[in-house]
A and B are shown apart, each in its own frame.
Chain A
Amino acid sequence: MTVVIVDYGSGNLHSAQKAFEKMAADAGMRVEVTSDAEKVRRAERIVLPGVGAFADCRRGLDSVPGMVEALEENVIQRGRPFLGICVGMQLLASRGLEHGVATGLDWVPGDVIAIETKSIDLKVPHMGWNTLSPRQDHALLKGIPTGDDGLHAYFVHSYHLKAADPALVVATTDYGAELTAMVGRDNIAGTQFHPEKSQKLGLALIANFLRWTP
C-alpha cells in the first residue's frame, strides 16, 4: 500500500512526510514523496500539500509533465482517497483570486477569496490554533473532539475556499465569520489547516485518512 505526497516544488514536504510516515507505520503502509506523475497515477492514496500563493502552486503543478492528468485519472476516475492540504486544498476550487485569477482543478466548485475581517483585532493571515465546527459527519473527523471545546487545528492562510455548494463543506472555523476549514466530496477531502502541524488533532486525522475507504 503506497501513499504518495505530491512534490511539485511547493515548499517543504519534510514535516508532512514525517507525520504521514509516523501514522503509516502503524497501518503497514509506505509513504513516498514524489514528483513522478507515473507514481501518482499508481498510488493507492494521494496527498497534495501546498504553501504559498495559489497561482504559483497551480503553475508548479502544471510544470510537472502529466501530473494533473495523473491526478484526474487516479482520483476522479479511479476514486482513490485524496487529501489536499492548505493551498493543496484550495487548488480543488474552480478559481483562485489571489494576485489575479488562476484556475483550480474544479473538483470542489467555488472560488478562493481573500479573508476579510471587520475588526482590527482579527488579523490576516488567520494564523494559529482554532477549533472546527463540523457541518456534516466525515470519516476523517471520526473520533476527533470538535466544536468550541474540541481539539485545535493549526491554520495559516489569508485566503479561503468559498464553496459554491455548501453541502461540500465538511467543517468551518470561526474567525469573525465562518471560514471553510475542510471540504469533502466522495473520495476527495481537503483541509485548510495543516494536519502535519496540528499535533493530536492532526495526527488523528492523518490516521483516519490512511484507513479511509470512501
Chain B
Amino acid sequence: MLKCRVIPCLDVKDGRVVKGVNFVDLKDAGDPVESAIAYDAAGADELCFLDITASHENRGTILDVVRRTAEACFMPLTVGGGVRTTDDIRNLLLAGADKVSIMTAAVHNRDFVREAAEKFGSQCVVVAIDAKKVSPGRWEIFTHGGRKPTGIDAIEYAKEVAALGAGEILLTSMDRDGTRVGFDIELTRSIADAVSVPLIASGGVGSLDHLVEGVRDGHATAVLAASIFHFGEFTIRAAKEHMQRAGLHVRMD
C-alpha cells in the first residue's frame, strides 16, 4: 500500500539554510547538505529545498547544494524557487533534483507547464500554488510571497495545470503559512478532490494533529512542514508515529 509522505522543507538563500536545523548536533546548522543528511537519517520521505536567493549572481549556489545533497542522500529531492525556463529545470535535474517545482512562471505562462512536462516528463514537474481565500469557497492564486493577487481561481488553475502535465501539486495556503494554526483544510480538500494527480499540503502546520488533518480531512497524499521539524519540536519519527496512531499509513523503515 502506498504510504502518505512527510516532507520537511528547507528555505535556502545564497546556498545557506535560512532557519537552520536544530534537532541534531550539526557542525554547521546553516549547511543545507548537513540538514538533508540528518533528515534522510531521520526517515523523511522526501526533502524539499525552496531557493529564496534574490540576486541573480547567486542563483547558481542552489545547484551546488543540490549536487552535494544528491551525493550524500539517497532519497527523493524536490527543488523550487525562481524556476523560469526549461534550462533552469534541466540544470536542477542534472545536479540531482528528482522533481522541480515551478510557480510564478507557470502562472504567467501556462504553456511552460506543458513544455516542461513534455521535455522532462510529468513525474518531475511539480506546480506550486500559493492560494488565498477571497470569499467563502473561493481562493485565488497569489504570487510574490502572497502579496500580489492574480485574479486566477485556484481550483480551476489546479485542474488546468494537471491537464497540462503537472505530475504533482504543492499547495500552500498563504492565509495559514507561518500561523501554526493548521492547514486550510477546505482549500486543500477542494483542490485534492478536483485533480487526479497527487497533492502536497503546505502552510500552517503547528502540531502533529495538523499533519493528520491534512491527509485525513484535506485528502492530501503528502504533508510538508518546516518549523515544527527544524527546531526539534517534533522528530519525523514522532510525526509518523502520531499519524500511524490516527490510522494513517506511513513508512517506518
Task: State yes or no: do A and B come from one complex.
Answer: yes
- Partner of B251 from the list A52, A127, A152 (CB cut-off 8 Å) is A152
How far is A51 from B199 in the complex, measured between Cα atoms in Å? 21
Interface residues of B, CB < 8 Å — how many?
Answer: 37
Are B251 and A129 touching (Cβ within 8 A)? yes
Contact pattern, A 145-170, Cβ under 8 Å of B = 1, otherwise 0: 00010011011111000000000000
Are B74 and A15 touching (Cβ within 8 A)? yes
Are B74 and A125 touching (Cβ within 8 A)? no
A124 at the interface (CB under 8 A from B): yes
Are B197 and A123 touching (Cβ within 8 A)? yes
Give the residues from 110 to 150 in chain B that come closer than 8 angstroms, CB to CB, to chain A.
Answer: 120-124
Give the residues from 68 to 87 in chain A that come closer than 8 angstroms, CB to CB, to chain B.
Answer: none
Across the two chains, which residue of chain A brings its CB closest to B41? A199
Are B198 and A127 touching (Cβ within 8 A)? yes
Residue positions of A touching B, CB distance < 8 A: 11-12, 14-15, 18-19, 22, 51-53, 56, 120-131, 148, 151-152, 154-158, 174-175, 194, 196-203
How far is A56 from B98 in the complex, measured between Cα atoms in Å? 18
B75 at the interface (CB under 8 A from A): yes
Q: With A52-B120, A123-B198, A128-B198 known to touch, is A148 a contact of B74 (CB < 8 Å)?
A: no
Across the two chains, which residue of chain B brings its CB closest to A206? B74
List residues of chain B with CB within 8 A of the CB of A127.
123, 167-168, 198, 221
- Partner of A157 from the list B123, B195, B221 (CB cut-off 8 Å) is B123
Question: Could you tell me the distance in whole angstroms from the C-beta of A82 to the nearest C-beta in chain B?
Answer: 21
B45 at the interface (CB under 8 A from A): yes
B88-96, B172-180, B202-210 - the one binding chain A? B88-96
Are A152 and B198 touching (Cβ within 8 A)? no
Give the residues from 60 to 97 in chain B that come closer than 8 angstroms, CB to CB, to chain A.
Answer: 67, 70-71, 74-76, 93-97
List residues of chain B with CB within 8 A of the CB of A128.
2-5, 45, 198, 221-222
- A contact face: mostly helix, strand, loop, or mixed: mixed
Are A158 and B123 touching (Cβ within 8 A)? yes
List residues of chain B with CB within 8 A of the CB of A12.
70, 93-98
Residue positions of B touching A, CB distance < 8 A: 1-5, 40, 45, 67, 70-71, 74-76, 93-98, 120-124, 167-168, 193, 195-199, 219, 221-222, 251, 253
Q: With A124-B196, A174-B1 known to touch, is A158 a contact of B75 (CB < 8 Å)?
A: no
Given contacts A11-B120, A18-B70, A127-B221, 18 further A-B contacts (CB under 8 A): A11-B93, A11-B124, A12-B70, A12-B97, A14-B95, A15-B96, A120-B196, A125-B167, A125-B168, A128-B3, A128-B221, A151-B253, A152-B253, A156-B98, A174-B1, A175-B2, A197-B98, A200-B253
Are B122 and A158 touching (Cβ within 8 A)? yes
Are B67 and A129 touching (Cβ within 8 A)? no
List residues of chain B with CB within 8 A of the CB of A148.
1
Are B75 and A14 touching (Cβ within 8 A)? no
List residues of chain B with CB within 8 A of the CB of A121.
219
How far is A121 from B248 in the complex, measured between Cα atoms in Å? 14
Are B45 and A129 touching (Cβ within 8 A)? yes
List residues of chain A with CB within 8 A of the CB of B196.
120, 123-124
List residues of chain B with CB within 8 A of the CB of A120.
193, 196
Q: Considering the complex of A and B, which 3 residue pairs feature the smallest CB-CB distances, nearest first? A: A52-B121, A123-B198, A129-B251
Are B2 and A199 touching (Cβ within 8 A)? no
Q: With A125-B197, A128-B198 known to touch, is A199 a contact of B253 (CB < 8 Å)?
A: yes
Are A129 and B74 touching (Cβ within 8 A)? no
Across the two chains, which residue of chain B brings its CB closest to A195? B74
CB<8 Å pairs between A and B, sample of 19: A12-B93, A14-B71, A14-B95, A15-B96, A51-B120, A124-B197, A125-B123, A125-B168, A126-B2, A128-B5, A129-B251, A152-B3, A152-B253, A156-B98, A158-B167, A175-B2, A196-B74, A197-B98, A200-B253
